[in-house]
Chain A
Amino acid sequence: MLRFLLGRVGLLIPTFLGVTLVAFSFIRLLPGDPAELLAGERGISPERKAEVMEQLGFNKPYWQQYIDYVAGIFQGDLGVSFASKKPVLDEFLTLFPATAELALCAIIIAICLGIPAGIFAAVKRGSVADQAIMGTALVGYSMPIFWWGLLLIILFSGILQWTPVSGRISLLYFFPQVTGFMLIDSLLSGQKGAFLSAVQHLILPSIVLATIPLAVIARQTRSAMLEVLGEDYVRTARAKGLPPHQVVGLHALRNALIPVITTIGLQVGVLLAGAILTETIFSWPGIGKWLVDSISRRDYFVVQGGLLLIAGIIMVVNLIVDVLYGLVNPRIRHT
C-alpha cells in the first residue's frame, strides 16, 4: 500500500510542474495587458505604461518571471493581486471556504440522491420509473446553469418566498470569520437564528450546483449496476437464496461503486467550473467569480496563483480517490 501511495504522490510532481507552466502561460497568452485595461478609454501613454509594467515586474523576460513565480511557490508566496493589493494566497484562503462549503453540500446532495436513483433505475430496468429517472437525469445534465439558477430564484424566492434570493447569510447577522464555513461559523457565533439563515441561503445554490453531478452520478451508477447485476456471482448469490436487498446492497453495489467513485472524483473539477456561474447568480463570495474577474482585468498573479491552487486541490482529491479506489478494489494497488 505504501509503494502504491508513494507512486501516486510521485506522479503529482511532474503534473504540478506542468500546471505551473500552463497557469503561467495561459494568462500571458491572452491579448491585452493590465495597464491598458486599467486606463480604459482614456488610454495610457507608452512611458506611463512602461512605468506601470516595470513596477509590477512584467517588463522582465518571461523566463525570469516564470522562475520568480516557481521560486515564490516554494516560499509560499504567490504574489500580490494587482487589484486589491493583497497577497493572492490570503485572498484564496478567505474565499475558498465559501466555494468548498457550497461544493461539499452539492456533492453530498448529488451522491445521496444520485446513487439511490441509479440503483433503483438499474433494478427496475426498462420500467417507467427507470425511464423517468434517466430522462430527468438527461435534462439535468443538459441544464443551462444560469437559466436554471434564475428560474429557481424567481420561483422559490420571488413567487413563493420560501428561500432568500442570494448571499450566504441574512445581513442581520454579522460575526467574525473563524473557519470560513458559514454553517460552522454561524453555530460558533451563538447568534439565534444564524445557523438556520445560513442553511436557508445554501439550499438553492447547492441544488443548482448539484444538478449536473447528480445527473452524471445517477447515470453512471445505473450503468455500473447493470453491468454487475449481469455477473455470475450475482446470479450465484440469488441462486443461493439471498434476499434481493442483500444481493444488490452487498454484492452488486460494492463492485459497482468502483467506477462511481472515479466519477465522483472527476466531478470535483466540474463543481469548481460550475461554481463560477453559481457564485455569480447567487452572489456567493467564492473563488469562481474571483478568478473570472481577475482574468478579465488581467490580474496575472491572481490567475496564475489561483489556477495553481485549484489544480492542486483537484490533484489531491484525485489522489484521495485513487487511494479509496485501492481500498475498495485491492487488485488496483498491486498493479
Chain B
Amino acid sequence: MKMRNTLKATLLGASLAVLVATGASAKTLVYCSEGSPEGFDTALYTAGTTFDASSKPLYNRLVEFKRGTTEVLPGLAESWEVSEDGLEYTFNLRKGVKFHTTSYFTPTREFNADDVIFSFGRQLDKDSAWHEYTAGASWEYFNAMSMPDLIKDIVKVDDYTVKFVLTRPEAPMLANLAMDFASVLSAEYAAQLAEAGTKEQLNQQPVGTGPFSFVGYQKDAVIRYATFGDYWNGKQPIDNLIFAITPDASVRLQKLKAGECHVMPYPAPADIEDIRADSNLTLMEQQGLNVGYLAYNTKVAPFDKKEVRKALNHAINKQAILDAVFQGSGQSAKNPIPPTMWSYNDAIEDDDYNPELAKEMLAAAGVEDLSMKVWAMPVQRPYNPNARRMAEVIQADFANVGVNVEIVSYEWGEYLSRSKDEERDGAVLLGWTGDNGDPDNFLAVLLGCDAVGGSNRAQWCNEEFDALTQKAKTITDKAERTKLYEEAQVIFKEEAPWATIAHSVVFMPMSSKVSGYVMDPLGGHWFDGVDISE
C-alpha cells in the first residue's frame, strides 16, 4: 500500500514536472552544482552543498540575510524585540505565509508558531519524538553554535508570537537564527508523516515556505524544483530550477559553454582567464568571507615568545604565496577577519616582508638554529587551494632567515584532530569560512580562551583579547561592538598568534543570459530573484 502510494506520488510529481517544463513560456534555470545533497532536512547537516539544495531554495528562517550581505532582515518573523537584559528574544511572526503544496502533502493551515516550536524543539529537546527521527540523526550545526547551552526555552506566546529565552546574553543570536540550521519546517507535514509511520520522509521529500517547492531528486544526478506561486515574498521570475550534479570543475565549464547549464560554482583557477575571454559568459567575483592562516603553538617554546612569532611573520613573502598558490584569486590578509566583515580594522599595518628584520628579531630573541614543523592540510579548501605548495613557499622563506622547516601532513580527519592538541609540535596551516557574518564567529571561535584545545589552533589565550570579545558578545549596539572588535584586532596583531596569510576570491561563472544573480558573502548559492532571458 505504502509502495503504491509512493509510486502514485512519484508519477504525479513527474507528470506535474513535465507539464511545467513543457509549458509554452516556461523558463528553466539549470545550475551545475558541484555535489549531491546528503538530504533535505537542513538541520541534520553541515555541508554547504546540502544547504544550497535544501535550506536556500525550499525554506525560510525567522530572520534572513539580506541578499549579498550579512545584514539581518525580517524573514518569517516580521519584527522582534530583545529584552533589556538581552535574555529574551520575542518574534512576531508573519501572517499569510503558505507552505508548499506538493504531490505528497497538501497543507490545511498557514505557517504559525507551532512550526517554529517544532523546528527548534526537535533539535533542542533530547526527549522530543523527532530528536532521533531517522537513523543517525544528529544536529551538528545547532550543537556547534552552542545552541543547547544557550537556549533555555522556546515559548509559544500565541499563534503568531514566539519567545526564545536564553541562558546568557548573546549578541550574534539573530545572525545565528538566519543560518541554515534554523530553517523552519512544517509541523503539520511532520505530524502527517508520523501518523503514516514514515518520519524519515521529512529528510527525503521536503516541504517548506521558500521560493521553490521540491519536485524530485534522482540521486547523484538531478534535483528539480518548481517556483512556488504563493511565495510570501513574491513569485520568482523563473518557472523551474534544476540542479544538474556535476562533480568535475572542467566538465561543469564545458556544460556551461555548451548551454547545458546556466550557472556553475567553483571554476578551476586555471580556467578563469578562458571564462573571462568568452563573450557568452559572465564572470562574477567576490571576496570570500574567509581567512587562511598559519597558527603557531603559543604554548610551546620558542613560539611562546611573541617576538619569535613576529619575526617569522616578517619572514613570510605573502605575495609569493598569492602568486604560487592562489594564482590571482586571493588577497593578502593582515587581520583575522576578512575586509568585507563589519568591524574590520583597516588602520592596522601588516608585518611587512623583511627577511633581514626577521633575522635580527630572531637573534634578539636569542633564537638560533631553529628547526620547526609546518603542517600542511591534505585537502583543498576555499581559504587554501593548495596547502602543500603554501607550506613549501613558507619553508623556503623560513630557510632564508635560518629556520629549518619540516613539512608534515596527515589524513584530514586526523589532521583536524591532532592539530587541536595543546602539546602539538609545529605551526599549522588552516583557515576558516564564516558561518553568519558576525565577527564573534571568527574572533571568539578561533582565538578565544574557551577554544584552546579545540578550534583555537594557536592555543593562544590572551586575557585582554578575550575580555574584549566576551564583552562584545553581550552588547547589542553594533557601533559599540565594532570598537571592541577593532581593539581586539590590534592586540591580535601585536601578539601574532598566527601569520595571517590570505582571503580568497570566489568566482561564479554564468551564462550572459542570466540576470539578477547576487553572490553570497557566506558562500551559499541562492536563486530567488534570478531571471534568464530566452
Contact = CB atoms under 8 A, between A and B. Distances in A.
Pick from A51, A55, A84 the residue with the most CB of B within 10 Å. A84
Contact of B136 (A43, A80, A154, A191): A80
A43 B220 contact: no
A281 interface: yes
Given A38-B140, A166-B254, 17 more contacts: A30-B411, A37-B416, A39-B416, A40-B46, A40-B416, A42-B445, A51-B138, A82-B136, A85-B134, A85-B135, A150-B251, A157-B258, A174-B14, A174-B224, A176-B11, A283-B246, A283-B251
Contacts of A286: 220
9 pairs of A and B residues whose beta carbons are closest in the complex? A32-B413, A285-B220, A80-B135, A285-B221, A31-B414, A83-B38, A36-B413, A85-B134, A283-B246
Given A150-B250, A280-B248, A283-B251, A176 B134 contact: no
Contacts of B36: 293
Contacts, number: 148
Interface string B1-14: 00000010011001
B140 A39 contact: yes
Given A32-B414, A40-B416, A298-B413, A290 B247 contact: no
A217 B412 CA distance: 40
A26 interface: no
16 contacts: A31-B410, A41-B430, A44-B144, A56-B136, A85-B39, A95-B219, A154-B254, A166-B255, A166-B260, A167-B221, A171-B242, A171-B244, A191-B18, A285-B220, A285-B245, A289-B220
A95 B251 contact: no
In which size bucket is the chain A interface?
35 or more
B39 A84 contact: yes
Given A171-B242, A176-B11, A48 B143 contact: yes
Interface in B225-278: 242, 244-248, 250-251, 254-255, 257-258, 260
Given A85-B44, A95-B220, A285-B219, A165 B260 contact: yes
A292 B218 CA distance: 19
A161 B44 CA distance: 41
Interface in B121-157: 132, 134-138, 140, 143-144
A177 interface: yes
Contact of A165 (B203, B254, B432): B254
Interface in A25-64: 30-33, 36-45, 48, 51-52, 55-56
B204 A86 contact: yes
A286 to B, nearest CB: 8
Contacts of A82: 136
Interface string A150-185: 100110011001001111100110111100000000
